[in-house]
Amino acid sequence: MNRILQNVALVAGCLFFAASASAAAPTLKPHHQSIKDCAVCHTAENAVAGNAFVVPSDKACMSCHGSYKDLAKKTANLGEPNPHASHHYGEGISCTACHKEHQPSKVYCNECHNFKYQIK
C-alpha cells in the first residue's frame, strides 16, 4: 500500500471507531438492570450468521422465567384472558411478541382486542 492509501485507511478506521464508540448502548428495562451480560439473552446458540444481536429466542427468557405454564400461574390473578395461556396461540407465541427490551413493550393481542394490561 502506498503512503496516501495507508493514511486514508487509517482515517477511515478512526472514523469508524469513533462512530461505533459514540453509538448509544441499548437500554435495558428497569427490572433487567441487574443483567450485566448481553449474552444471557443474546445467546451464541440463537445467532444468525454469527450475529447474536438479533431477537432472542424464548429459550433465553424461559431459562430464568420458566415455562408458559409457570408464567400462566403468575398471571392467573389478572383473570381472563390470561396473556400466558392464549386462546388462539397457546404456547406458540414468542415472548417478544409482547415483551420488548430496548423499546416499549406492547400487548400483541391489542392489535385486535382492547385488553387492559399494564405490561412491562
- The set of cell numbers assigned to 79 is 383473570
- Shortest separation between residue 14's beta carbon and ligand HEC, angstroms: 22
- Shortest separation between residue 18's beta carbon and ligand HEC, angstroms: 18
Our finding on whether 52 is near ligand HEC (CB under 6 A) is: no
Residue with Cβ nearer ligand HEC (3 or 102): 102
Beta-ladder partners of 86: 90
Residue 12's Cβ-count burial label (10 Å; 0-12, 13-18, 19+) is: exposed
Contacts of 41 (CB under 8 A, 6+ apart): 35, 56, 60, 61, 101
Which of these segments, 2-10, 11-19, 36-44, binds ligand HEC (CB under 6 A)? 36-44
User: How many angstroms separate the CA atoms of 39 and 53, rounded?
Assistant: 9
AA letter at 41: C
Give the residues lining the site for ligand HEC (CB under 6 A). 25-26, 28, 31-32, 34-35, 38, 40-42, 53-56, 58, 60-65, 68, 71, 74-75, 78, 81, 83-84, 86-89, 93, 95-103, 107-109, 111-113, 117-120
